[in-house]
Amino acid sequence: MKLDRILKEIKKDQLIQLTQDLIRIPSVRRSGQGEQKVALYLSRLLEGMGLEVVVEYVEPDSPNVIAVLQGESEGPCLMFECHTDVVTEGDPSEWKYGPFDGRLVGNRIYGRGACDTKGNLAAAVMAIQAINQSGIPFKGKILLGILVDEEGMMSGVKHFIRQGWANGIQAAMICEPVDNQLCITQKGALRAEIKTSGKMSHGAMPLAGLNPIPPMISILEKMKQLEEEEIERLGKNDFLGYPSITPTVLQAPVKGEPQLNVVPYQCRALLDIRTIPGQSHEALKKQLEDIVQEEERSVNASLHSGPLKEIRETLEKGLSKGISFQSMLDVFEDRPWTKTPQEERIVRCVSKAMRSITGKDPVYGGVLGATDGTFLSAWAGIPIVTLGAGKRMIPHQKDEWVSVEDLELTSKIYAASALEFLNVEI
């Protein structure tokens, strides 16, 4: 059986070694060249395996690596997508083992990136190597995209798409830690800033100025209501749970020191908004914008009418003249949710591959954060699935680890999925 021949080529010790080697090249995205070192290490390795490799700089010191294993003739192209960066290790003394030691303890490999996503990257490389070494002919090609900055603004995948690499890819496997579930949907995300501006004044004479804090509170309360309405309207998504609108930063004054007896000029809030299938980002942005604009209108109307106007004019003797209130919303990042139908070919192929390896039906799931797959799906229309080893709750924490057995299983699923997708009878 062809599948057995290929699975035999996936060597556990090599998989462990490659995972350790990758962890030992720290690639937190900060000043330094960590991502570049990982990228160049992999490009040499993949070239050595006989793949066509392109190293493409997204920014200085940050290159994407694109490696292609060509089949013997034309056919579909399947992408495996991984990233080179890892999130910060935090305080290294908090870790049981050094975050970049890549320590193998029992059945676990420890270190930053062990599961997110250097272990899964190693599993993908090993799967492709196994297909290559087995000599089993196939049509089409496998493209391995090892991209930068997934944990940040995802500049790697955006560059990859802008450079035209996504054209001609029929489906993508996003290699991320999701407990080896077959994930077919992902939450969307909007990142936004709200600013309210009034006029600075003495705390003892607040009407001489205009406090931007109460209108901000009113805006955030209305957004909380909007969140509740959306939860009510959509209910709970089987894989993703509920949508959310979460203020994560609230700051006043925006510049300079805060002081108890000074009314600040400006207040600022950051919103982390997560969406689920069924929500339109355009409609949601419009609703948020309406809340902010409505607050501006109503605060300004109250300034120039009713009792406040009189109090200001008489008590503060014109100090408050010309006051006006402004509020603005800036949505500076938009990452749509994704949903790949279960009937989509890539989902069927991975599902079949998992059944041939484990003897069981896959467990379907969803990804709560955005990934590079978000843009492959939203910008390039590529059907995606996300699958990889590693407990969902471990990434971004201290003592990150991955199980060697899970990683081996992941590598086998990757290899079998590729064969299914490339129409090899397994």
Minimal distance in Å, beta carbon 98 to Zn ion? Answer: 21
Q: Which is nearer to Zn ion, 35 or 176 (CB)?
A: 176
102 within 8 A of 110, measured Cβ to Cβ: yes
What residues are paired with 245 via a beta bridge?
273
Burial of 96 (0-12, 13-18, 19+ CB in 10 A): exposed
Close Cβ partners of 403 (under 8 Å, ≥ 6 residues apart): 107, 108, 389
**C-alpha distances in Å from residue 6, one per residue of 136, 303, 357:** 8, 75, 12
Q: Which is nearer to Zn ion, 116 or 406 (CB)?
A: 116
Q: CB under 5 A: which stretch of 176-184, 204-212, 319-327, 332-340 binds Zn ion?
A: 176-184
Close Cβ partners of 176 (under 8 Å, ≥ 6 residues apart): 116, 117, 120, 367, 371, 386, 387, 388
Minimal distance in Å, beta carbon 311 to Zn ion? Answer: 56
Q: CB under 5 A: which stretch of 108-116, 191-199, 307-315, 342-350 binds Zn ion?
A: 108-116
Q: Which is nearer to Zn ion, 115 or 415 (CB)?
A: 115
Minimal distance in Å, beta carbon 372 to Zn ion? Answer: 8
Q: CB under 5 A: which stretch of 19-27, 165-173, 174-182, 205-213 binds Zn ion?
A: 174-182
Q: CB under 5 A: which stretch of 159-167, 168-176, 274-282, 339-347 binds Zn ion?
A: 168-176
Minimal distance in Å, beta carbon 424 to Zn ion? Answer: 29
Minimal distance in Å, beta carbon 48 to Zn ion? Answer: 26
Residues in contact with Zn ion, shown as a per-residue x/- string from 123 to 162 under the rule CB under 5 A: ----------------------------------------
Q: Which is nearer to Zn ion, 109 or 210 (CB)?
A: 109
* SS3 label, residue 234: helix
Q: CB under 5 A: which stretch of 35-43, 170-178, 308-316, 317-325 binds Zn ion?
A: 170-178
Minimal distance in Å, beta carbon 152 to Zn ion? Answer: 11
Q: Which is nearer to Zn ion, 62 or 117 (CB)?
A: 117
Q: Which long-range contacts (CB under 8 A, 24 or more apart) does 4-8 make?
A: 5/134, 5/136, 6/130, 6/131, 6/134, 6/136, 6/415, 6/416, 6/419, 7/130, 7/357, 7/412, 7/415, 7/416
Q: Which is nearer to Zn ion, 215 or 366 (CB)?
A: 366
Q: CB under 5 A: which stretch of 12-20, 58-66, 116-124, 272-280 binds Zn ion?
A: 116-124
Work out whether 117 is an interface residue with Zn ion (CB under 5 A).
Answer: yes
Say how many residues touch Zn ion, by CB under 5 A.
Answer: 3
Minimal distance in Å, beta carbon 117 to Zn ion? Answer: 4
What residues are paired with 50 via a beta bridge?
none
Minimal distance in Å, beta carbon 366 to Zn ion? Answer: 15
**C-alpha distances in Å from residue 36, one per residue of 22, 43, 112:** 12, 10, 17
Measured from the Cβ of residue 310, the count of other Cβ atoms closer than 10 Å reads: 10
Work out whether 64 is an interface residue with Zn ion (CB under 5 A).
Answer: no
H-type alpha helices, 304-421:
306-315, 345-358, 372-378, 404-421
Q: CB under 5 A: which stretch of 57-65, 102-110, 111-119, 380-388 binds Zn ion?
A: 111-119
CA distance 52 to 32: 27
DSSP codes of every residue in 73-91: EEEEEEEEEEES-B-----
Work out whether 116 is an interface residue with Zn ion (CB under 5 A).
Answer: yes
H/E stretch holding 322: none
Minimal distance in Å, beta carbon 24 to Zn ion? Answer: 18
Could you give phi then psi for residue 167, rounded to 5 degrees?
-65, 130
H/E stretch holding 152: none
Q: Which is nearer to Zn ion, 222 or 392 (CB)?
A: 392
Would you state the structure tokens that stand for residue 70, as one six-digit string? 């060509």
Angle between helices 34-48 and 12-23 (to 10 degrees): 150
CA distance 118 to 116: 6
Q: CB under 5 A: which stretch of 115-123, 225-233, 333-341, 351-359 binds Zn ion?
A: 115-123
Minimal distance in Å, beta carbon 176 to Zn ion? Answer: 5
Q: Which is nearer to Zn ion, 176 or 296 (CB)?
A: 176
Q: Which is nearer to Zn ion, 178 or 194 (CB)?
A: 178
Would you state the structure tokens that stand for residue 43, as one six-digit string? 């490009």
Q: Which is nearer to Zn ion, 116 or 296 (CB)?
A: 116
Minimal distance in Å, beta carbon 121 to Zn ion? Answer: 10
User: Where does this chain bind Zn ion (CB under 5 A)?
Assistant: 116-117, 176
